[in-house]
Structure 1
């Protein structure tokens, strides 16, 4: 689950755009592309809330690192208790993708339909997760507060629980990082999904029809959550876009191909002006302006999206950093991490360069949580002196960052660089959503490449 970075006071309706078509190559037929808008909503927060949110962002980063060190021991004791309750039988292609402020989470979210007839639910979208789940009646243990009604399996004529012997039950270990369990009374497969901030969902592995944009997928495999708690805001659940076979991407790939793209709209912390124009698309993109970098893999966690950063430039001049400093640790791109993490030598060089330029006109301020390069001034004011920053990736892919991708206003009159350095030299580098905002990011999983195009949110 992505880190919960924003708290919102407003709720807006989700809009739907018509599906479009795109061409994969001259030798292939047209493949439909599901596409709906993504919005950013105005919000306000307190100092303590934002500090806590940044701490949770750090918790997610530690969780991602644990997945590469085979140290995934973050399952809380409460999970085993709720699972025992279920085992004992006490049980009674494009879509709108929106930033999660309006439902009280920092991830981006969309609306999906589940069941026949479908009921619609707001769910967090996460490229760092593979498993999808929603809160289900009768909420045998606990359901966190959400916008809208829980999914009611008994009201769907196509819903069914999967038995313990189902092949999908055997796939849960790699999808959720937790072993499946089995209800002795009903032979139902039970999943446990845990996240870096100690949030969790426990329930029944199930199948039902998924309405995704303008299309419906029968037999979608998901979790019907009976004990769900943590920092999901008021969302109904979560859908995963990582590379595991149970992810939503994999399940939609037979019809739309193994590809998706998105644009994350600007998420301004203190501005009353809402962002907009974002989208999530499943299918091959028709955008011809991508600059591509190879999509890499790491056997320690093959579900995540790895890439190789080769340089960072400021005002057209590359940082004075050894090439090896960019490649000593793996780099992933993740929609759920807010603040990008860089290897310590790379971050130090970037920080030094930017602080020298910005502090010539704006006084430095105290560190704010994990952000240690801060200034006295609003982001709009400081944006006028922020130089062009470019993240350069192997093969020619690049993110030509705008000032709003580089600085973030953390409280009225105080702004910080939206990067952080890794304290552990072995920690992975992460390209977070603050740096991805306003870019069209294309994940061509079948072609093993990631593309970036400027001006993606329209």
Structure 2
């Protein structure tokens, strides 16, 4: 009796602690103290795959333009934009004909192309050579991709004077800001009317002799006007004239911003009008703003399949207090990309035995770890991936395994489970910070039948990419002026 009563009292103490660990595991931690295991809510994740994303109503954005384009007095929204996952831009007809597994397969195909593109661009650090394409290259290499789509997250900004509302893909690995323009010699279908420069009082074409034109990696000249060409490696491209134009972001008007006015575009952009480059180069949106925002921005990417929206905010006021800050590493041969120092990986509160050299950026510009919003699944050099995977498998106990799916070789059949206990997965950053991921960021549903896969993949190259699945739900901030990237403390 004494033993039973003591055991009962012990359970009363332990169970609340387990509950606390489970709840705290839903938010990212960036300290050396974190739970070794957490709980994945299987039934909630499966339910999310069966919920069709709501059809996006363009009218709701047009009706709210006075809020977004500076007619409402709310200083907190001055530099802030809503971030939408691409599933919210898919038409109702497309959603009805594509269940979760089909959307997943399409996403993985886009991801494979994105990674191949980044690997080519960063191989040997010769990015300029990688983006020089001739007309004949476009004619032979470009494929129609409207069924696959490109870009994972979108924002809505105003272009021109008066501002015309446009959806834009956000891409931390690109510099050029561009929109499709009339006359459209070749354009893909977008949600909003194609931007017409003739309707804007602030549109000015850049001349070939301009210093702005000189900053383009692949500039051309026609009749004294500066031309640009950009290919994204997945079959998408844009080409047209470089211009100075006014953009409206939140309640802020930005004049004389260099943007591409694309008259020939092929795309997997799912209705977006163009792309907002957030890379580290001088022609990116962040680079051109310079002192106006202090080289700082912050974003939160919401999880797939949810009805919520994330946020993209510019300016030093967007940098949170209490974030875990990691030093940004510059690759002079690839200035568009944000590199971070990664010293190791952890599973279940223990560091996996992997040499830090595997993640190092060498003097030739090879290797290293890039943070990218356009890549979904985190890629690791094969040796590092296999060590991480094997450690995870060893600590998952008797969870029923399933066959591999697409790029994933480690999957589980969790149909019928309400929740499962899984080991934590962590990034060990150089200098000490540790980022422990929520369970939904490394064990994801790939269908609506309970198949979950370990959301990492091997890379044959030495390049590591931290993808947006691992970034979801975590506030991520870039302080370019001081050379840091921050994680947390807030969640989306």
Considering the TM-score relative to the shorter chain, is it more than 0.5? yes
- CA–CA separation in structure 2 for the residues paired with 1:150 and 1:434: 31
Q: Is the 8 A contact 1:33 1:256 kept in 2?
A: no
2:297 alignment partner, one of 253, 256, 260: 260
Q: Point out where structure 1 has 5 or more consecutive residues left out of the alignment.
A: 1-6, 22-31, 83-100, 174-178, 269-273
- 1:440: how far off? 0.7
1:230 aligns with 2:242: no
- CA–CA separation in structure 2 for the residues paired with 1:251 and 1:418: 35
- 1:129: how far off? 0.2
The higher-RCO structure (CA 8 Å, 6+ apart) is 2
Match of 1:357 in 2: 395
Match of 1:440 in 2: 475
1:138 alignment partner, one of 177, 180, 183: 183
Q: How far does the alpha carbon of each residue in 1:385-404 deviate from its partner, in whole angstroms, 9 at most, with x for none?
A: 22211112112333210111
Match of 1:336 in 2: 374
User: What SS is found at the alignment partner of 1:294?
Assistant: strand
- 1:344: how far off? 1.6
2:314 alignment partner, one of 275, 278, 282: 282
Q: Is the 8 A contact 1:127 1:242 kept in 2?
A: yes
For residues 19 and 221 of structure 1, do their structure 2 counterparts lie closer, same or farther at Cα, with a shift above 3 Å needed? farther
Q: How far does the alpha carbon of each residue in 1:84-103 deviate from its partner, in whole angstroms, 9 at most, with x for none?
A: xxxxxxxxxxxxxxxxx9x9
Q: How far does the alpha carbon of each residue in 1:32-91 deviate from its partner, in whole angstroms, 9 at most, with x for none?
A: 961233345676546455334313212211211222223626847556679xxxxxxxxx
- 1:299: how far off? 2.2
TM-score, structure 2 length as denominator?
A: 0.76
Match of 1:431 in 2: 466
Higher deviation after alignment, 404-413 or 119-128: 404-413
Q: How far does the alpha carbon of each residue in 1:120-152 deviate from its partner, in whole angstroms, 9 at most, with x for none?
A: 10000110000010011110x211000010111
Q: Point out where structure 2 has 5 or more consecutive residues left out of the alignment.
A: 1-51, 89-94, 141-145, 362-366
Match of 2:343 in 1: 310
Higher deviation after alignment, 163-172 or 215-224: 163-172
Match of 2:407 in 1: 370
RMSD: 2.7
Q: How far does the alpha carbon of each residue in 1:145-195 deviate from its partner, in whole angstroms, 9 at most, with x for none?
A: 00010111001111111111111111111xxxxx212113xx211110110
1:170 aligns with 2:237: no
Please state which structure has a larger fraction of its residues in helix.
2
Q: How far does the alpha carbon of each residue in 1:225-262 deviate from its partner, in whole angstroms, 9 at most, with x for none?
A: 10111211110000101111111001222212101110
1:53 aligns with 2:107: yes
1:251 aligns with 2:288: yes
Give the length in aligned residue pairs.
405
2:220 alignment partner, one of 181, 185, 207: 181
Q: Is the 8 A contact 1:348 1:421 kept in 2?
A: yes
User: What SS is found at the alignment partner of 2:333?
Assistant: coil
- 1:208: how far off? 1.2
For residues 402-417 of structure 1, what are the structure 2 equivalents within 5 Å?
402-412=438-448, 413-417=450-454
- CA–CA separation in structure 2 for the residues paired with 1:351 and 1:400: 16
Q: Greater CA radius of gyration, 1 or 2? A: 2
Match of 2:130 in 1: 72
User: What SS is found at the alignment partner of 1:235?
Assistant: coil
User: What SS is found at the alignment partner of 2:179?
Assistant: strand
User: What SS is found at the alignment partner of 1:455?
Assistant: strand
1:319 aligns with 2:363: no
1:300 alignment partner, one of 333, 342, 357: 333
1:62 aligns with 2:116: yes
Higher deviation after alignment, 112-121 or 65-74: 65-74
User: What SS is found at the alignment partner of 1:64?
Assistant: helix
User: What SS is found at the alignment partner of 2:440?
Assistant: helix
TM-score, structure 1 length as denominator?
A: 0.82
- 1:343: how far off? 1.8
